[in-house]
Structure 1
Amino acid sequence: MSELTAKRTAVKQALHALFLVFRIGSERYALQAIEVAEVLPRLPLKPIAHAPHWVAGVFAWRGAVVPVIDLSALTFGTPAQARTSTRLVLVLYRPDDNAKAQLLGLILEQATDTLRCNPAEFQPYGLDNRQAPYLGPVREDAQGLLQWVRVADLLDERVRALLFPTPPLDLALLGERP
């Protein structure tokens, strides 16, 4: 292979990104793999009282308590099916570029495939979907449409305050009840 061909191949590879592909019902969705910290099997969760129905609960992971949302319940109101391919995917949630990344768990069905493609292949789908700002552009391939889920847009301010209070709760204050 010539040096020029090697450089062209390197540039072409740089234009491609890796995505984790999953399903909600029969529809395909994707998360950019750079936002994924780890893919785990589905684990038991502790429910959070008075949380929205799509907040599945919390679990302890490597010394941290991680909130988990069920993306199927958030998107279509129906909890993810308990399949052997249903995964608990830890993502790096950062609502804006200035915020520190925090772990957020997502329950995702059939989260077993990856796709490498140019992110520019995803195109707007022509709807102003303010109720689901995390549902990004779509990409067409031989299997149909694939929709990009943007992690940064998953939680509105109210749910973000519930799952990631700022400042974090001070446990010492809980013991100072009159």
Structure 2
Amino acid sequence: MSEPTAKRTAVKPALQSLFLVFRIGNERFALQAIEVAEVLPCLPLKPIPRAPDWVAGVFAYRGAVVPVIDLSALTFGHPAQARTSTRLVLVNYRPGENAEAQLLGLILEQATDTLRCNPADFQPYGLDNRQAPYLGPVREDAQGLLQWVRVADLLDEQVRALLFPAQPVDLALIEERP
């Protein structure tokens, strides 16, 4: 077989992506690692008055005010447990293809593992969950089902306007919590 023929007939390797795996209670979820900007330990946050319960607050990060949501509270209505493995994960939030990426903090429990797999391994789970559009397809493995969380779908328009106002928040107005 000639070399060009061998190249055309060779099996292409499956595309692999890296995912950050975390838990909410006993359930496993994953974020595509390309959306993760940084993983931090939990930090003190300044609460946002009259915000939804799952909006944990804001903090100053490298000259910018970053809003933080508690994914456990958003998804199941109870705050994330304070564990040594609970992390503040900064993601690049982009609500639309043409929108500029902004940092958004997510409080995630047991965010200490990664998984490399083909994104096509995640399959629709048969429900149209309009109350949680960020919960994407699932992947089955030896530990059960793993659900993909889509960062772009985390916030609706009202919450996006609250967390990312047209006028940026002045850092001088953010005071540290005691």
Q: TM above 0.5, one fold?
A: yes
Instruction: Check if 1:160 corresponds to 2:160.
Output: yes
Q: Percent identity?
A: 83
Give the Å deviation of 1:169. Answer: 4.6
Cα pair 2:65 2:169 within 8 Å, conserved: no
Corresponding residue for residue 130 of structure 2: 130
Runs of at least 5 residues in structure 2 that lack an aligned partner in the other structure: 171-178
Q: Structure 1 residue runs of 4+, over 3 Å off? A: none
Runs of at least 5 residues in structure 1 that lack an aligned partner in the other structure: 172-178
1:34-80 Cα offsets, whole Å, 9 max, x none, are: 00000000000000000000000000111111000000000000000
Instruction: Check if 1:44 corresponds to 2:27.
Output: no
User: Equivalents in 2 of 1:58, 1:155: separation in Å?
Assistant: 15
1:78-106 Cα offsets, whole Å, 9 max, x none, are: 00000000000000000011000000000
**Secondary structure of the structure 1 residue equivalent to 2:13:** helix
**Secondary structure of the structure 1 residue equivalent to 2:159:** helix
User: Equivalents in 2 of 1:170, 1:37: separation in Å?
Assistant: 21
1:127-171 Cα offsets, whole Å, 9 max, x none, are: 010000000000000000000000000000000000011x22586
Corresponding residue for residue 13 of structure 2: 12
Corresponding residue for residue 175 of structure 2: none
Instruction: Check if 1:144 corresponds to 2:144.
Output: yes
Amino acid at match of 1:57: G
TM-score, reference length from structure 1: 0.88
Amino acid at match of 1:160: R
Aligned residues: 165
Amino acid at match of 2:16: H
User: Equivalents in 2 of 1:120, 1:169: separation in Å?
Assistant: 38
Give the Å deviation of 1:12. Answer: 2.2
Output aligned runs, 1:1-150, within 5 Å. Answer: 11-12=12-13, 15-150=15-150
User: Equivalents in 2 of 1:35, 1:169: separation in Å?
Assistant: 22
User: Equivalents in 2 of 1:68, 1:47: separation in Å?
Assistant: 9
